[in-house]
Amino acid sequence: MEEPRKPNVVLGVTGSIAAYKAAEITRQLVKADINVLPVMTDAATRFLGPLTLQSLSLNPVTTGLFDEEESWRPTHIALADMADLLLIAPVTANVMAKLAHGLADDVLTAIALATRAPLVLAPAMNVKMWEHPATQANRRLLEERGARLIGPETGFLACGYEGKGRMSPPEVIVERVLQYLKHRG
Ligand SMILES: Cc1cc2nc3c(=O)[nH]c(=O)nc-3n(C[C@H](O)[C@H](O)[C@H](O)COP(=O)(O)O)c2cc1C
């Protein structure tokens, strides 16, 4: 009998100081037998080296919309079609805004627009960015469209502030992702 294939999680990582936590998320998902396909924004690569996610996921890391593999099929469409779930952790205020408004000017937001996989977001940002009416309006739009948000939590923020904006711990995010995958139709 053929073994069932591993679920594919496209893991988007954006330009937050919390990007380093994506390494732990990757490690824990791989341990749970998930095929993790990392995608990083340009800003994310300033916070975390793609090589780290490549080594932990055992997969290539996609960082650019125009870094095409030797295939007729654009990488962002291939990843969008492969995804059983799109997790963006951490997600910046900027990428939340782009997702809410359907922008697709980088590889991650292009995948988000092209996929029909469930979207799971783990925001991380300064408390004032999180509480800004623009971010809250974007959050509502995304949730109305079915995106699931994990956190953010309240606590000490890397920017020196205390308040809501801290990304949920990797183990919380991984547990929720595994639940969503289990209950997917
Ligand atoms: C040190 C530093 C930390 C940052 N942390 C965050 C953050 O946690 N959340 C956020 O929304 N933006 C943060 N930013 C701002 C983003 O990096 C910036 O908006 C960037 O354009 C995001 O690009 P991306 O959304 O394409 O990844 C930070 C910037 C710097 C310089």
- What is the best residue among 14, 16, 164 to mutate for testing ligand 1's pocket, by most ligand atoms within 8 Å of CB? 16
- Distance from the alpha carbon of residue 4 to the mean position of ligand 1, in angstroms: 38
pLDDT at 69 over 70: no
Residue 23, SS3? Answer: helix
Cis peptide before 90 (omega within 30 of 0): yes
Model confidence over 127-168: pLDDT tens digits? 999 999 999 999 999 999 999 999 999 988 777 778 899 999
The fold of the 8-182 domain, in CATH, is Rossmann fold (3.40.50)
Model confidence over 42-65: pLDDT tens digits? 999 999 999 999 999 999 999 998
Decide: 35 and 6 in contact? Cβ < 8 Å. yes
Q: What stretches of 30-161 adopt beta strand conformation (E)?
A: 35-40, 85-91, 119-123, 148-149, 153-156
Give the DSSP letter of residue 152.
P
- What is the best residue among 92, 106, 159 to mutate for testing ligand 1's pocket, by most ligand atoms within 8 Å of CB? 92
Q: Which amino acid is at 70?
A: E
Q: Is 115 in the pocket of ligand 1 (CB under 6 A)?
A: no
Q: Which residues have a catalytic role annotated?
A: 159
